[in-house]
Amino acid sequence: MNRSEALEIVKEQLTEHRYQHTIGVMETALVLAKQHGADEKKAELSAIFHDYAKFRPKEEMKQIIIQEKMPKELLVHNTELWHAPVGAYLVKKEVGITDPDILDAIKYHTSGRPGMTVLEKVIYLADYIEPGRHFPGVDEVRELAKEDLDSALIKALQNTILFIMKKNQPVYPDTFHTYNDLTTNRRHD
């Protein structure tokens, strides 16, 4: 599937604002993929489809999580997490993309996971740092991402975890586990 076909499919699923975000994520993912040795075609498609399920009804996403036996923890955490694993499922089912690398990059772009691949890190960070994002700490992560994906990811995860904690909301376990995995591996390098 080429870029224009993919963008045409995803545009029907998104608001104009979210579509512009998706373009920014795609462009950022391509830069990061080139810099850090990820497959550029997979990065492009993963970025284009990363928010495919973002505007699906919550009840539909909940039913897919239950029906597909996705982790039950999803249901007790912020519904903002749901569109990533549900999106991977729907991209496979509705769009026909079956590449596990692309599907995992979509699936883990909100939570992360221990042992993330370079492609998964690229998509997580591209979503976090694309040019349309403006919030405290994003510029530092942008700078770190130019040199070292893991350092950028650690900082992004720290920012996210602190943001969630300040709102007195529970932090999804995979997000903590991703942070712990990256910082533990960093100490052993």
Cβ pair 106, 88 in contact under 8 A: yes
From the list 146, 98, 119, the residue with the least C-alpha distance to 33 is 119
pLDDT of residue 188 exceeding 70, the answer is: no
Nearest one of 109, 4, 99, 13 to 56, comparing CA atoms: 13
- Please report, rounded to a whole number, the percentage of residues in the chain having pLDDT higher than 90: 95
Q: What is the pTM of this model?
A: 0.96
pLDDT beyond 80 at 187: no
Of 105, 90, 123, which is closest to residue 10 (Cα–Cα)?
90
Q: What is the mean pLDDT of residues 83-95?
A: 98
Residue 189 pLDDT more than 90?
Answer: no
Q: Which helix (H) or strand (E) holds 174?
A: helix 173-188
Burial class of 21 by CB neighbour count within 10 A (0 to 12, 13 to 18, 19+) = buried
Q: What integer pLDDT is reported at residue 160 of this predicted model?
A: 96
- Collect all residues with Cβ–Cβ distance below 8 Å to 156 and sequence separation of at least 6: 124, 125, 128, 129, 141
Topology of the domain covering 3-188: Hypothetical protein af1432 (1.10.3210)
Q: Residue 39 has what pLDDT?
A: 98
pLDDT mean across residues, the chain: 96
- One-letter amino acid at 13 equals Q
pLDDT given at position 186? 78
- According to DSSP H, which parts of 68-166 are helical? 73-76, 83-90, 100-107, 118-129, 138-147, 149-166
Q: What is the dihedral of CA 94, 97, 102, 106, to 10 degrees?
A: 0
Give whole-number Cα distances, 75 to 28, 81, 113, in Å: 30, 9, 17
Residue 108 has a pLDDT of 98
| Mean pLDDT to the nearest integer, 16-40 | 98
| Domains in the chain: boundaries | 3-188
Q: How far apart are CA 29 and CA 31, in angstroms?
A: 5
Summarize the confidence of residues 145-168 as an average pLDDT: 96
pLDDT exceeds 60 at position 23: yes
Express each pLDDT in 39-71 by its tens digit. 999 999 999 999 999 999 999 999 999 999 999
Average pLDDT over residues 68-95: 95
- At 118-139, the pLDDT tens digits run 999 999 999 999 999 999 999 9
Q: Give the type of residue at 166.
A: K
